[in-house]
Structure 1
Amino acid sequence: MLGESHSLRNEFPELTDTLKSLLKNDEQFADKAKQYDRLDKEIRELELNAAPIDDESMHQLKHDRAVLKDLLYAALKDAS
């Protein structure tokens, strides 16, 4: 859906406690999570504001978000 938040808490509600713990105790995870959140926010704003961006650029942003999400999910599963 256009403008939908893909925050880690929304995507993985069953891992909320693990997410909180990793954000607090794992600096590398926290940095990647911040990068993910910034990217998700950028994509949402572009979608909601109908900002001028070509399809290839938007696809790349969404691809980058998916790659980060997979990396973060793997870390969450390993820690849970």
Structure 2
Amino acid sequence: MTLQSHDLHTEFPEYREAIHALKVSDSHFSRLFDRYHDVNRRVVRIEVEAEVATDQALEDLKKERLKLKDELFGLLQRYSPA
């Protein structure tokens, strides 16, 4: 099985600079970013069988990752450098 990268820099390469700027200037974005990457790492660990989880737990994590990604994307779209 080939795993697709869900890293935010891979998902949104056009927002690379905005991601960095928001991580250092917006605590809400930074917390969401960190949570997104924690959830994503957990999903990857389960998918490569380094961690055991039920199918439902994996599905729940994937849904949380998608929700976080959608929220982060919305913040990135609204971001405009000063």
CA distance in structure 2 between the aligned counterparts of 1:17 and 1:49, rounded to whole angstroms: 34
1:1-80 to 2 correspondence within 5 Å?
A: 2-49=2-49, 51-80=51-80
| 1:9-61 superposed Cα distances (whole Å, 9 cap, x missing partner) | 01000110111100111011001100000000011011112643221111100
Q: Which amino acid aligns with 2:20?
A: K
CA distance in structure 1 between the aligned counterparts of 2:39 and 2:2, rounded to whole angstroms: 15
Q: Which amino acid aligns with 1:52?
A: V
TM-score for both structures, normalised by structure 2: 0.88
CA distance in structure 2 between the aligned counterparts of 1:61 and 1:2, rounded to whole angstroms: 19
CA distance in structure 2 between the aligned counterparts of 1:25 and 1:51, rounded to whole angstroms: 34
Higher RCO (CA-CA < 8 Å; seq separation 6+): 1
CA distance in structure 1 between the aligned counterparts of 2:38 and 2:6, rounded to whole angstroms: 11
CA RMSD of aligned residues (A): 1.5
CA distance in structure 1 between the aligned counterparts of 2:74 and 2:33, rounded to whole angstroms: 12
| 8 Å Cα contact 1:5-1:40 kept in structure 2 | no
Structure 1 unaligned segments of length 5 or more: list them: none
Structure 2 unaligned segments of length 5 or more: list them: none
